[in-house]
Amino acid sequence: MTNDIIWKLIIVFGVLFVTLNVAAGLIWLERRLLALWQDRYGPNRVGPFGLLQVLADMVKVFTKEDWIPPFADKPVFIIAPAIIVVTIITAFAVIPFAPGVEIVDLNIGLLFFLAMSSLGVYSVALGGWSSASKYSLLGGLRAAAQMLSYEVFMGLSLMGVVMLAGSFNLTDIVNAQKGLWFCIPQFLGLVVFFIAGIAETHRLPFDLPEAESELVAGFHSEYSGMKFGMFFVGEYLGITLVSALIVTLFFGGWMGPALPPIVWFTIKTFFFIGLFILLRASLPRPRYDQLMSYGWKVMLPLALLNLLVTGGIILATGR
């Protein structure tokens, strides 16, 4: 019994430690990859391969003046950046990294993830609103509208997976992919979920809430120091989470030959993280109205279509 508790605690802190470190490391990874694709070097001065750049950035962000604008709504302003980090880390609780390596084996794991990512909207909306500056407010408004819109078909796109697996439990879903990864039968669902995931983490090309060419830095224009750092880390946590989910839901989770399961999970996750960064390196940002109409007029029907076809096939095959 105590062994169980210790094991659980090890997993909890291990997941916390690893995810936060991965998120921090992503800052370095993203800059190096972007540089690679732009024929540059990126940060290569601090430590071997510039790996200690992360440390330098942390020292910098921790020692920066933590300034709260006098016109801001102070309590909300302080809470907002915490929300995004907390919700995303909490969402990691349901991800099965390997057989037995998960914090909770929740039977509605997928719904829990969706719920957490919905709560994450509060962070940017409140952050943008409490800053009491026009750019922040616009950024916050955009973030709220965008995330709400894309959440709709994000959930719908996953329903195909749920139908195939017959469970909301993520371990069950992984186990259901023993024969065939869901990326094949649920290809449409994968595409829709991936695009929705980009929008949820407001990464390029869907980073309109912080579009620097129009809105300075969007919802976090007024943030500095570690509060800004929280938004920053939250974004990379979000990337990791979405990548991990894609792997879990569509690419067979930890499954793979020869190598230990946790390694397979890591390799797959980093592949999608790399894809996220490649997107940023290559695609321009659409207009805001394009983003919205794309979501409602293309992605939503596609998700519904996916649901319909999947349901139809299941009915027809009678599995």
Partner 1 sequence: MFSLLRTMWNVFLHAFRKRETVLYPEVKPYIPPRWRGRIILSRDPDGEERCVACYLCAVACPVDCISLQAAEDEHGRRYPEFFRINFSRCIFCGFCEEACPTYAIQLTPDFEMGEYVRQNLVYEKEHLLISGPGKYPDYSFYRVAGLSIEGKDKGEAENEGPPVDVRDLMP
Task: Find the shortest distance in angstroms from Cβ 134 to partner 1.
Answer: 32
Considering only residues 132 to 171 of the shown chain, the ones binding partner 1 according to CB under 8 A are none
Considering the complex, state which of residue 257 and residue 284 has its C-beta at the smaller distance from partner 1.
Answer: 284
Considering only residues 35 to 54 of the shown chain, the ones binding partner 1 according to CB under 8 A are 35-41
CA 214 vs. chain centroid, Å, equals 24
- Give the position of tokens 């490391």: 25
Using the 8-state DSSP alphabet, how is residue 186 labeled? T
Which residues have C-beta within 8 Å of that of residue 116, sequence separation ≥ 6? 87, 88, 90, 91
Considering the complex, state which of residue 30 and residue 222 has its C-beta at the smaller distance from partner 1.
Answer: 30
Residue 21 binds partner 1, judged by CB under 8 A:
no
Task: Find the shortest distance in angstroms from Cβ 157 to partner 1.
Answer: 17
- 262, 263, 267, 283: which one contacts partner 1 (CB under 8 A)? 283
Nearest partner of 84 among 237, 216, 195, judged by Cα:
237
Considering the complex, state which of residue 37 and residue 296 has its C-beta at the smaller distance from partner 1.
Answer: 37
Considering the complex, state which of residue 86 and residue 281 has its C-beta at the smaller distance from partner 1.
Answer: 281
Task: Find the shortest distance in angstroms from Cβ 177 to partner 1.
Answer: 25
Task: Find the shortest distance in angstroms from Cβ 267 to partner 1.
Answer: 18
Considering the complex, state which of residue 38 and residue 290 has its C-beta at the smaller distance from partner 1.
Answer: 38
What is the token pair recorded at 16? 């916390």
Window of 33-41, 107-115, 194-202, 214-222 that interacts with partner 1 by CB under 8 A: 33-41
Task: Find the shortest distance in angstroms from Cβ 141 to partner 1.
Answer: 27
Task: State how far the Cα of 195 lies from the Cα of 208, in Å rounded to an integer.
Answer: 14
3-state secondary structure 105-165: CCCCHHHHHHHHHHHHHHHHHHHHHHCCCHHHHHHHHHHHHHHHHHHHHHHHHHHHHHHHH
Considering the complex, state which of residue 37 and residue 49 has its C-beta at the smaller distance from partner 1.
Answer: 37
Give percent helix, percent strand, percent coil of the chain, each to the nearest 5. Answer: 75, 0, 25
Task: Find the shortest distance in angstroms from Cβ 282 to partner 1.
Answer: 4
Residue 282 binds partner 1, judged by CB under 8 A:
yes
Which residues have C-beta within 8 Å of that of residue 95, sequence separation ≥ 6? 102, 109, 170, 241, 244, 245, 248
- 12, 51, 281, 314: which one contacts partner 1 (CB under 8 A)? 281
CA 242 vs. chain centroid, Å, equals 4
Our separate counts of H helices and E strands in the chain read: 12, 0
Task: Find the shortest distance in angstroms from Cβ 193 to partner 1.
Answer: 17
Considering the complex, state which of residue 42 and residue 120 has its C-beta at the smaller distance from partner 1.
Answer: 42
Task: Find the shortest distance in angstroms from Cβ 41 to partner 1.
Answer: 5
Using the 8-state DSSP alphabet, how is residue 287 labeled? P
Give the number of residues in contact with partner 1, rule: CB under 8 A. 12
Answer whether the bond into residue 205 is a cis peptide, omega within 30°. yes
Task: State how far the Cα of 171 lies from the Cα of 185, in Å rounded to an integer.
Answer: 19
Per-residue contact string for residues 241-280; x = within reach of partner 1 by CB under 8 A = -------------------------------------xx-
Considering the complex, state which of residue 21 and residue 38 has its C-beta at the smaller distance from partner 1.
Answer: 38
- Helix, coil or strand: residue 6: helix
Residues at the interface with partner 1 (CB under 8 A): 35-41, 278-279, 281-283
